[in-house]
Structure 1
Amino acid sequence: MKKIYLFCDQAMSTSIIAKKMQEVGDKHNLPIEVKAFSIKNLEKILEEENPNCVLLGPQVRHMLDDTRNRVEKYDIPVGVIDSVDYGMMDGEKVLKKTILLMKNYKKS
């Protein structure tokens, strides 16, 4: 089971896209878990849940470098959800891009 965790300020709108991503994963029988959290709880979630990928909502894009530094010791990919895909709440596109992010991360 791959854990894909989304982070934004309050995890409100991000929880909607997380749900849509999970629905796409379930539809295709992918072994994934997609959840949304507040960025304020990043370290706690990393320690307790051991996610395989961290995504930031577009509204906290400015925190990307800081988040990469905070996540570095866990050796997992960190990305930002495309603002157009986010605005359209396109769970399928976000999930496809996330899977590519994880595959490409392992190659590097």
Structure 2
Amino acid sequence: MAETTIMLACAAGMSTSLLVSKMQKAAEAKGVDAKIFAIPASDIDNKMASEHPDVLLLGPQVRYMEAQVKGRVSIPVAVINMQDYGMMNGDKVLTSALDMLD
């Protein structure tokens, strides 16, 4: 299977970087070839063009942007489950991202 690119966007891109490392560990454990990175929500359009992600996950703090972003991009978009985000549950967030691609 080809590498899956998962982009996470939150208010500033900081809180999500810890979640990215946990998701990468989960991907390695599952043998999933994934490129996972976090950006500030203000960079979504730029990164869509340069990184061509397969799926976009929004941090709970920018959930208000979901409809607007879905209208601009042609990939699956979802808001990260608040509980999984709070617990930094990389495995669950990774699984939900991969499920969006099926």
Name the TM-score class by shorter chain. Answer: over 0.9
Bigger fraction of residues in helix: 1
TM-score for both structures, normalised by structure 1: 0.89
Q: Say whether residues 1:59 and 2:61 are aligned partners.
A: yes
Query: Aligned partner of 1:21: which letter?
Result: M
Tell me the residue number matched to 1:87: 86
5+ unaligned residues in a row in structure 2: which ranges? none
Tell me the residue number matched to 2:77: 78
- 2 CA distance for matches of 1:97 and 1:43? 22
- 1 CA distance for matches of 2:49 and 2:6? 14
Q: Say whether residues 1:25 and 2:27 are aligned partners.
A: yes
Percent of residue pairs bearing the same amino acid type: 37
Match of 1:5, SS state, is strand
- 1 CA distance for matches of 2:56 and 2:95? 14
Tell me the residue number matched to 1:106: none
Say what the alpha-carbon RMSD is for the aligned residues: 0.8
TM-score for both structures, normalised by structure 2: 0.94
Runs of at least 4 residues off by over 3 Å: none
5+ unaligned residues in a row in structure 1: which ranges? 104-108
- 1 CA distance for matches of 2:18 and 2:69? 22
